[in-house]
Structure 1
């Protein structure tokens, strides 16, 4: 059901972007950076992994944009296993597909250039666990002992993007699963490059 609703939402977003793209209000680009999460519940954000993919934005008005991204996201704290061994984990790799859809407020701080300086946004994202690999501190594989029943999640997200130039920006993103179940924040720091 969630996948069907996400597909309808993406179709609507793409339709809006296609309509607005004729007046040069559509941006597309690439995003790449790192996720930071504390997967063991110890309060230390010592697990990190890439967060990279494509982005599209449609200007809705002078101060608002609708954005969508399709991302590969590693080590986000998005879904909780049904069962996992109570050991000290070593290497952990959680591979996710992440599809954020968000509304951003654009802020221009200077009239000396013709691009937006700052974007503040809120949105939702669909995440699906595609696969995982886990080891304990002694490099023993733990995959056979970990069981996921639910591999999908709805995420709440907030972001802030500082534009360094017309094409390059730095994005900071905070993500929290809508169903927390002992899950915590995942933070991301990314570079955003827009084409055109």
Structure 2
């Protein structure tokens, strides 16, 4: 913990060397490491939340659409709820970037299994629009710049941002699978997600 605190202080001292998009309150709030905590149990209904949808081409002066997690689950047999780590639209997390792309590239297989991806990113909507455009993301992404839902699901944090986590929920909102951050592999392999969805096809 002492070493982690020193690392955080050193980062703050050198903050002027960072991009302005990284010098945010979120950086300060998420400097010290907090491990992910598996408080949710399979079969449990996780906490509900509502966040603005990041729309690639929003209408001027229009209120952003909001998605409530519980309502979203009702419209899909399964929901792959992915909390992802993005520092800014100019700074991607090397641990999460491949996972974001893997979900994109396998979205057809995911949807063929009756599921939809719902991603939560801890960045503002304006930055999120650029991320969606640059990465050609083809699934809904929600904006949570204060990272409150990450804390709600106890995903943990380190080095200026919350840690990633993946949950699969059924259409009743019940937890059927969870994957919290691991040093060996930050995100679940895409094949593990697909195999889990296949196994869930049997009642």
Instruction: Output the TM-score relative to the length of structure 2.
Output: 0.21
Q: Give the number of the structure whose residues are more often strand, by fraction.
A: 1
Instruction: Output the TM-score relative to the length of structure 1.
Output: 0.21
Bigger RCO (CA 8 Å, 6+ sep): 2
Structure number with bigger Rg: 1
